[in-house]
Amino acid sequence: MPWFTKKTKEPAGKKQQQDEIWIRCQSCSAHIFKQDFINNISVCPKCGWHGKLTAYERIGITLDSGTFKEMFDTIRPSDPLRFVDGKGPYSEKAETARAKTKLNESVVTGIGKINGLEVVVGVMDFRFLGGSLGSGTGEKILQAANYAYDHRIPYIIFSASGGARMHEGILSLMQMAKTCAGVARLDERRVPYISVLTDPTTGGVSASYAMVGDVNIAEPGALIGFAGRRVIEQTIKQKLPEDFQTAEFVLEHGFLDAIVHRREMKSTLHRILSYYNR
């Protein structure tokens, strides 16, 4: 939590808002000027902890300026089960997420360039219902994969998700197979698929398209796993290592090809794409 805030004046009759001017690093607990943190692409300047980015922020630091063209942006969540829990209808939660994030789904898909090389991208946004994988999310990822297949363009997905969107039941779980089938088909035309795992990548996303890239890359310290740490410990009756489910742990056990600092991500992706482009 920020330890210092400043009040901003509002017109009469409105509540005063508080603007955070400091943030606290979730790793080293250092207090950092919020603007310095933002200017450093949301990376702690003291310990290198990588904070979350919105989909468009990540697109802005990854793709060449002015090259991104969004596709399939009209796809929205569906509510086939008319799901309602103790906090209200799923349809209302989805509308609230849309209003808050200005997104129609938890992933933004489109086409752009990385140092001049054309790519299709899918960028997940954790702000939208925890970046959950719903039927709309899966459809966008599949349609982007189909576009990459048809035009023989490399496909990159940046994952940031808590897993399958259980409000949609089995239809959500079906997206795991659907998305994997879409990216697997790229191999028929030798179209590269690069998966970038960011904090967090868990649940049904980590168990599907996030881990099946031709190259799997993660940001430092990213939480990567399926079930939660506490659930696993209670199931196996053992204490897990402190670094369990971190990107570094996953790399050590052979499920990642590299861990790449956010500042070096664009150049690294360009080198990989250049290899495939020879």
Please write the tens of the pLDDT for every residue from 251-270.
Answer: 999 999 999 999 999 999 99
- Given this model, what pLDDT does residue 142 score? 98
The stretch 58-73 carries a mean pLDDT of 98
pLDDT interval class at 7 (50, 70, 90)? low
Residues 40 and 62 in one domain: no
In the chain, how many domains are there?
2
Please write the tens of the pLDDT for every residue from 231-246.
Answer: 999 999 999 999 999 9
Question: By C-alpha distance, which of 214, 216, 215 is closest to 206?
Answer: 216
- Given this model, what pLDDT does residue 20 score? 81
- Given this model, what pLDDT does residue 14 score? 46
| pLDDT at residue 2 tops 70 | no
Residues 202 and 241 in one domain: yes
Please write the tens of the pLDDT for every residue from 198-224.
Answer: 999 999 999 999 999 999 999 999 999
The CATH number for 100's domain is 3.90.226.10
| pLDDT at residue 189 tops 60 | yes
| pLDDT at residue 1 tops 50 | no
The stretch 173-182 carries a mean pLDDT of 97
Pick 19 or 106 by higher pLDDT.
Answer: 106
Q: Can you tell me the distance from the alpha carbon of 242 to that of 75, in angstroms, rounded to the nearest whole number?
A: 40
Residues 68 and 129 in one domain: yes
pTM of the model: 0.91
Residues 25 and 136 in one domain: no
Q: Can you tell me the distance from the alpha carbon of 32 to that of 22, in angstroms, rounded to the nearest whole number?
A: 5
Q: Can you tell me the distance from the alpha carbon of 74 to that of 163, in angstroms, rounded to the nearest whole number?
A: 22
Q: Can you tell me the distance from the alpha carbon of 44 to that of 37, in angstroms, rounded to the nearest whole number?
A: 6
Q: Determine the angle formed by the axes of helices 135-151 and 170-184, rounding to 10 degrees.
A: 10
Please write the tens of the pLDDT for every residue from 19-50.
Answer: 689 999 999 999 999 999 999 999 999 999 99
pLDDT interval class at 11 (50, 70, 90)? low
The position carrying tokens 């971190």 is 246
pLDDT interval class at 147 (50, 70, 90)? very high
- Given this model, what pLDDT does residue 278 score? 72
Q: Can you tell me the distance from the alpha carbon of 41 to that of 39, in angstroms, rounded to the nearest whole number?
A: 5
Residues 32 and 6 in one domain: yes
| pLDDT at residue 58 tops 80 | yes
Asked if 206 and 167 touch (Cβ cutoff 8 Å), the reply is no
Q: Please state whether beta strands 215-218 and 193-201 pair in parallel, antiparallel, or not at all (unpaired).
A: parallel
The stretch 142-168 carries a mean pLDDT of 97
Residues 95 and 28 in one domain: no
Number of H helices, E strands in the chain: 9, 13
Per cent of the chain over pLDDT 90 is 90
Residues 24 and 63 in one domain: no
Q: CA of 179: how far to CAs of 14, 17, 146, 251, in Å?
A: 46, 42, 10, 23
Residues 45 and 56 in one domain: no
Question: By C-alpha distance, which of 199, 198, 202, 189 is closest to 163?
Answer: 202
Residue 2's domain comprises 1-49
Residues 23 and 94 in one domain: no
